[in-house]
A and B are shown apart, each in its own frame.
Chain A
Amino acid sequence: MDGAAGRMERPKKVLVIGSGPIVIGQSAEFDYSGTQACRALREEGIIVVLVNSNPATIQTDKDIADRIYIEPLTLEVLEKIIEKEKPDALLGTVGGQTGLNLSIGLHESGALSKHGIRFLGTDAKSIELAESRESFNRLMEKIGIPILPGRIVKDFISAKKFADSNGYPLIIRPSFTLGGTGGGTAYDEEELKRIIELALRMSATGETLVEKSIIGWGEFEYEVVRDPIGNSEIICNMENIDPMGVHTGESIVVAPSQTLSDRDHQVLRDASLKIVDAIGIKGSCNVQLAMNQETGEFVVIEVNPRLSRSSALASKATGYPIARVATKIALGYRLDEIKNAITGTSAAFEPALDYVIIKIPRWPFDKFPKTPRTIGTQMKSTGEVMAIGRTFEEALNKALRSLEIKVPKDIVPDEHLFPPTDLRIYALLEAFRKGRTIEDLNRITKINPWFLARIHNIIEIEKRLASEKRIDKELMLEAKRAGFSDAQIATITKSKDSELGIRALRKSFGILPTYKIVDSCAGEFEAITPYYYSTYEQENEAEATPGSASVTGANSRKVVIIGSGPIRIGQGIEFDYCCSHAAFALREMSIRSIMINNNPETVSTDFDSSDRLYFEPLTFEDVLNVIENESPEGVIVQLGGQTSINLAERLHEAKINILGTKMDGIDIAEDRERFRALAMKLGIKQPRNETARSEEEALIAANKIGYPIVVRPSYVIAGRGMEIVYSDEELRRYIQEAVDVSQKRPVLIDKYLDNAIECEIDAVSDGENIFIGGIMEHIEPAGIHSGDANIVLPSMRLTEIDKATLTKHTNDLCKALGIVGCVNIQYVVKESEVYILETNPRASRTMPFVSKAIGIPMIKLATRAMVGEKIDAGSLEKKHKASESRYAVKSVVFPFLKLIGTDIALGPEMRSTGETMGLGKDFETAYYKALLAAGIKIRPGAAFLSLRDEDKSKAPKIAELLKKLGFSVYGTMGTVGSIENAIPVAKIGAGSPDPLELINSGTVTLVINTPTKGGKANTDGFRIRRASIQMNIPCITNLNTAYELLKALEEQKKHPLEIKAFDEY
């Protein structure tokens, strides 16, 4: 591969910009592509300087990049890093829209030319050509590629003019935004006005595109790579099952396209190549096209001149490592000079698939019951699953069960078909069940009849299963080949046979899964990478990994790791980080790792992260099938969040060896009664708690404990349905509206300890030696879900005595539960009393944060412990001491901007999508950086203060700090009425100035609003909070957060922001 050297001067040091915290529209895929890019650079001997504020990323590990900056992703910070590191090139196309926008920003600010930094790959000029609507449209006209009639507007008047001549509906797309933020479909003038105003605010350039809607056309995507001399190829073409009108990130997507003839496909392929050529892409590009399948007309919708969500999906769908190839191209290599790591042949070819890929988004509506479930041109999903099958039906059924969602019973199809909701696929199934026709559903949804026929076929098989008295071998095979799970068959047949009964019957027929390789070439060449999926056919290509029971010897050990599935609120990239680390640790120990997961965005599903990858749903059946195929020495269930730990019990019953903490220990931690007994035995206090099985019981229990109380249903995870309740009245409402309490489904009631410090501990243990990674302190008071809290390490307010108690409790619990591997324990400290809230016998969300903060890879230690190695706690303690001279703060980002109708006030139910980390030699710096990284940008101007009664006494202190920082202070009469120099404001609609007007006019640049308990919608507070989100200005809903933020701001004023590489702290 020396050809490239001649064509281009090789960079010595490359700056790589990551994508920051996980937000809707920008998820784990950029850790995956960024990591691949860093590796591709480093194997060339190039020094990589990586910047990312997200600690739960593999790319910020020290063996991925040479210089790692866990710092906020802002222009100012990046310029400082450039000053310091003096890289000679920039790779800006691997960090999503965030990375791309920052790269363009650096180009425009002159920082790049000032320091002689080159753009690697697709250059700034090409990026602007692709990203700016105006120049893109002009270019398309020049090369004769049809586009939609549309107009760039900078105000509502011009948008209305366009609407007057083109009619409704219209699509609004702001320039340079992510996941369609701020865009939408307008069906009338009123909607147009509302959407345009938001879009203009969201757009980085103050302009937005208004274009004619082509709802109902088929939507297709082409992933293209193009090399420096203009050789290009299509890596994957994908078809959205949801036709135009639904953002591609919100669509169910199939690859390859199913309904295009070769003639159609070549038309779109030619157009894609022509576009990419005209833009001058050097690397990867995603092209989105729409085709009217009744006339054959087509248009290009947009392009992404960078690695994208779709390119990650295309990589996993084909086995072709797009990020790696794009990076090599950026270094000057031609396609034929790059090796295809899967087959050992060259990267110059178009992958051929011999299976069907289906991707389904995962939406967070379970967390946001008040948010409309409609899906459209703006992304609302947090993650996605991918499934592989040899038929469409098989892939679809596997994808549906990979989602791990509870499908509501009694779906009324017409409520979900159009406009579509997240439940549309279930509505289609239900509609066919009720006898509706393909023609009927095609008329309503415009979904291609071919797809509808496949979905219909699933119901046909379901009906046959339901009507057969006894399933014969032929029908069983047909059902399995259509992707039905044993559990599904058991439910449909309503037989007394449970899932296990069907499993036994199936096995008695000799029907076992066969595993096939994803090899990028449809079997034409031998694949050297073991990336498998299951189907029911003749040949099993996954002969058990060497190391099965029959093979002995030093290198014969192997372990299965159960992954964490789709990114969702409460279970995000952090768990994928843990699973990937386990695979790396096993590799270091020469133990073979076998990964099972279904999330295409992640590092764990990269073909070289583990020794074997099974791309499978994470249900009991699918996981057990892999285990039976492999016979490993054991299974790691601690690292994939609730998904994997929930499988522990059934796998244990199936006689599978659970590595690490034994089943009994897991059970004690999760069983309320057993845990209470243990805590009592160990002398660990719990907040008073009761279990209630009816409304009356709940009221009695509540009064016994005393308000405030925390109530939650007993059968949920990640704080779902959890609320803090202050009175009988509120408790009654909660029981009646929010939960379905019964004998079998009790409600759990805990004393809520207010004005207390919440803290949590992440530890690892080998059964004897325990290493505590850190005592993390929540900045917010107890009662806010730990996933949503700002967290600082080391703790600030806990006394040495508190810490000693916490350590002792943790050690006692680890021993008593027999913890081997990870544990996360949550405590509350109130008036020097330590109470335990819960113990999670698994890796926690904070594990990557702690590992980064203390510089010790906790998950690798845990993994080593799980396979029998001892932990050297003594030397770890010493290393740990060294990290205590710095502060690390974890902050979070919320999806409120994208989920209209949601109240942003925080509570015990987790709602953040991602996290950031700030580092500093003092707390203020670390906190400021964490918030800055989370997108909280405080502009000077005016602050609006509106506090709940119990916070009001602190208003003068806050106001004083604000004034010191140069803010003028507005507020509600009750909050600021008695404060000097503050301007009291009437209620909304009651006079002038009006709170909403102040916010909407841009006068107010910071809102501090602490909501009254109870969380009712449509109060003034709710409207103020929503308005601030719509205006994209920070809205702080917790007084501690606000206070610490203002103090940090004050501190920042004194000296410039200090930026350091990770190892310099």
Chain B
Amino acid sequence: MKDEKQELKAALVMQDGTILHGIGFGAKTEAIGELVFNTSMMGYQEALTDPSYGGQILLMTYPLIGNYGINKQDSESGRIHPAGFVVRCASPDYQHKDSEQSLHGFLESNNVPGIQGIDTRFIVRHIRDKGVMPAILAVSDKELDTKKMLEKSRSFDYSAIDFVSKVSIKKTQIHQSNARTKKRVALIDYGAKGNIVRELVSRGCEVHIVPYDTPSSDIRSIKPDGIMLSNGPGDPAILTGAHKTIRELSGDGGKSGNASRIPIFGICLGHQLLAHAFGGDTYKLKFGHRGSNHAVIEQESKRISITTQNHGFAVGKAPEGFEVTHINVNDKTIEGMSCEERNILSVQYHPEACPGPHDSKYLFDRFMEMMED
């Protein structure tokens, strides 16, 4: 299947004055965001629908994107989250038994601009040297005023914006499971990927997805067997409300009987929020980890998992009483921690995959075991 040829102008303007002109696709509009890159060679649909990309312009390092189109089953949420999309070549043809729409059409219907035909590897190397930075991506059939775009890019501060409130659901949703013995999980939605829910449901969990700002008392009243802290966009440090809620949910770790050592499992942003909630901290990585090929080693067993990652921040210091369970094989950053006393488990990466390897799915099983005990 083939898209009709469109000749749209497009420009990508980075805050440091780097300007690239290319060919536009997707929506004729302008978008601002932090420019980040992802090294997954497949899985562009899952990435585009990952809420963690809120507030970012996403660049795929693999040069041919859109080859198998867009299908019904592989979206991680109901819409595209990155503000803009940057590729070397958006395939004009797509072919797959499940595909229903072209990449171009998907972006257009989500009002998201895309740029292609530019040296994406140059941008990656530039970001690698200079660090991530804001950028503006504009697509138009008219001439583009890159000077104005550059000015506008200077007004953007990713870390100051609360993206979570924009991507979280507004009302609690309940997902039932067909299993006979059920565990009830409260999933706090900071921008959860759909597959977290699917993984829990497939293991016999009744999942209550609650808005990010649900008070701890309301969550307790659900009587969950476990709490799942989801992934999501933005700087974990500014989400002080979430820090407080998490602290309240865990209480003092069950010592006073005030809390019942309710198992908590944090993924990505959820992992970072746990660090903040109990006295640890996070810091911004120069250009983040985004891809499906990062090796993580479990400290005790020395088992290596190839993981899906999508994070711009990392835990710098784990809270007291927390053990660092997983580290990144390459840069030795903290990838996972646990606190036995509080019955907490968290990882920086994405055991729910989508896209990416299934190596870490065992963590969901571990969460199930924690809920059994």
**A contacts, CB < 8 Å to B:** 227, 229-231, 233-234, 256-263, 265-266, 269-270, 293-296, 334-336, 345-346, 348-356, 390-392, 448-450, 453-454, 457, 514, 516, 521-526, 537-539, 541
Contacts and interface: CB of A to CB of B under 8 A. Distances in A.
B46 A537 contact: no
B359 to A, nearest CB: 8
Contacts of A514: 119
B63 interface: yes
B187 interface: no
B121 A539 contact: yes
Contacts of B118: 538
A26 B359 CA distance: 34
B309 to A, nearest CB: 11
Nearest to A450: B95
A391 B68 contact: no
Given A346-B329, A349-B293, A335 B74 contact: no
A449 B92 CA distance: 12
A523 B63 contact: no
Contacts of B83: none
Given A261-B43, A523-B121, 6 more contacts: A229-B302, A259-B67, A350-B357, A449-B95, A453-B95, A521-B293
A261 B42 contact: yes
A448 B293 CA distance: 27
A354 B128 CA distance: 15
Nearest to A477: B117
In this complex, the member of A516, A524, A526 whose beta carbon has the largest number of chain B beta carbons within 10 angstroms is: A524
A259 B68 CA distance: 6
B196 interface: no
Given A269-B357, A539-B121, A390 B88 contact: yes
A17 B274 CA distance: 54
B140 interface: no
A256 B291 CA distance: 15
Contact of B124 (A227, A266, A522): A522
Contacts of A348: 295, 297, 304, 329
B358 interface: yes
A390 B63 contact: yes
Nearest to A456: B93
Contacts of B2: 453
A481 to B, nearest CB: 9
Contacts of B119: 514, 537-539
A454 B92 CA distance: 9
B33 to A, nearest CB: 20
Interface stretch (B153-161, B164-172, B348-356): B348-356
Interface in B238-296: 291-295
Nearest to B117: A481
Contacts of B356: 262, 266
B223 interface: no
Nearest to A353: B41
A261 B68 contact: yes
The binding surface of chain B is classed by DSSP as loop
Given A449-B95, A453-B93, A391 B74 contact: no
Contacts, number: 166
A450 B98 CA distance: 14
Report, nearest first, the 4 A-B pairs whose CB atoms are least far apart.
A262-B43, A538-B119, A262-B355, A348-B295
Interface string B61-85: 1111001100101100000000000
The binding surface of chain A is classed by DSSP as loop
B96 interface: yes
Given A354-B121, A537-B122, A539-B121, A262 B354 contact: yes
A4 to B, nearest CB: 12
B163 interface: no
B67 A521 contact: no
A269 B97 CA distance: 19
Contacts of B74: 261-263
Contacts of A293: 96-97
Contact of B330 (A256, A346, A449): A346
B292 A449 contact: no
Contact of B42 (A262, A345, A525, A541): A262
Interface in B300-359: 302-304, 306, 329-330, 353-358
A526 B41 CA distance: 19
B20 interface: yes
Interface in B81-116: 88-89, 91-98
A352 B356 CA distance: 12
10 contacts: A260-B68, A261-B43, A262-B354, A293-B96, A352-B39, A391-B64, A450-B91, A516-B121, A522-B121, A525-B128
Given A537-B122, A539-B119, A349 B295 contact: yes
A472 to B, nearest CB: 15
A1043 to B, nearest CB: 60
Contacts of A392: 64
Contact of A261 (B71, B302, B357): B71
Nearest to B124: A523
Contacts of B353: 266
Contacts of A453: 2, 92-93, 95
B120 interface: yes
A45 to B, nearest CB: 25
B348 to A, nearest CB: 16
A297 B265 CA distance: 35
A914 to B, nearest CB: 36
B148 interface: no
B125 interface: yes
Contacts of A525: 128, 330
In this complex, the member of A256, A390, A450, A521 whose beta carbon has the largest number of chain B beta carbons within 10 angstroms is: A450
Contacts of B45: 261-262
B29 interface: no
Given A336-B295, A354-B63, A233 B306 contact: yes
Contacts of B216: none
B308 to A, nearest CB: 10
B355 A523 contact: no
B337 to A, nearest CB: 19
Contact of A522 (B46, B61, B94): B61
B214 interface: no
B177 interface: no
B192 to A, nearest CB: 19
A390 B89 CA distance: 9
Given A351-B293, A522-B62, A526-B128, A335 B304 contact: yes
A503 B251 CA distance: 73
A5 to B, nearest CB: 15
Contacts of B89: 390-391
Nearest to A524: B39
B316 to A, nearest CB: 21
In this complex, the member of B46, B92, B121, B293 whose beta carbon has the largest number of chain A beta carbons within 10 angstroms is: B121
A463 B294 CA distance: 44
Interface string B26-50: 0000000000010111110110000
Contacts of B355: 262, 266
A349 B42 contact: no
A21 B69 CA distance: 47
A952 B71 CA distance: 76
A336 B96 contact: no
B63 A356 contact: yes
A270 B306 CA distance: 12
Contacts of A350: 292-293, 306, 357
Contacts of B292: 262, 350
A257 B95 CA distance: 13
A448 B97 CA distance: 11
A230 B355 CA distance: 23
Contacts of A391: 63-64, 88-89
Given A294-B97, A336-B295, A450-B94, A523 B61 contact: yes
A541 B124 CA distance: 13
B88 to A, nearest CB: 6
A718 B355 CA distance: 52
A754 B94 CA distance: 64
